[in-house]
């Protein structure tokens, strides 16, 4: 009986120890996910006939104009992921203050609202980025 109680106690101790390790891993994964978040992502998609090249050029011109207006350089990642020119622009916008970020996003959405082959998201991962 004493051996049985020792075995049960040992099993409980081992299982408790492994659950603590699992928590550490989850915390580390959450930190990694937080660093992979982008404030704003714009995707130029295609449905069999290529992307909307004029919308893409308007967006790039918008970035240049915004940089000139606020006298700042906006960094972004370009992720090309499709055969028909599909491209994501992933922006962290850390160079901008909160109100400037909101202005950038609002004005960008207004510019792209009629483009049917453009998708955007806020506070998300860059979906098509390969690590």
Encode pLDDT of 25-37 as tens digits: 455 555 455 668 9
pLDDT at 80: 95
SS (HEC) of the chain? CHHHHHHHHHHHHHHHHHHHHHHHHHHHHHHHHHHCEEEEEEEECCCCCCCCHHHHHHHHHHHHHHHHHHCCCCCCEEEECCCCCCEEEEECCCCCCHHHHHHHHHHHHHHHCCCCCEEEEEEEECCCCCC
pLDDT at 129: 75
Structural domain boundaries in the chain: 1-35, 37-125
CATH topology of domain 37-125: Alpha-Beta Plaits (3.30.70)
pLDDT band (50, 70, 90) for residue 51? very high
Residue 61 has pLDDT above 80, yes or no: yes
End-to-end CA distance of the chain: 54
pLDDT at 119: 97
The helix-helix angle for 53-70 and 98-112 (nearest 10°) equals 150
């Amino acid at each position: 009986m004493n051996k049985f109680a020792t075995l049960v106690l040992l099993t409980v101790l081992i299982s408790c120890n492994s659950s603590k390790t699992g928590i550490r891993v989850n915390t580390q994964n959450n930190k990694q996910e937080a660093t992979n978040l982008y404030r704003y992502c714009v995707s130029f998609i295609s449905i069999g006939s290529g992307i909307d090249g004029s919308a893409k050029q308007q967006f790039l011109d918008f970035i240049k104009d915004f940089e000139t207006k606020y006298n700042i350089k906006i960094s972004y990642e370009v992720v090309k992921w499709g055969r028909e020119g599909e491209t994501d622009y992933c922006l962290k916008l850390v160079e901008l203050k909160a109100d400037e970020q909101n202005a950038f996003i609002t004005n960008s959405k207004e510019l792209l609202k009629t483009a049917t082959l453009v998708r955007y998201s806020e506070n998300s991962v860059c979906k098509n980025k390969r690590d």
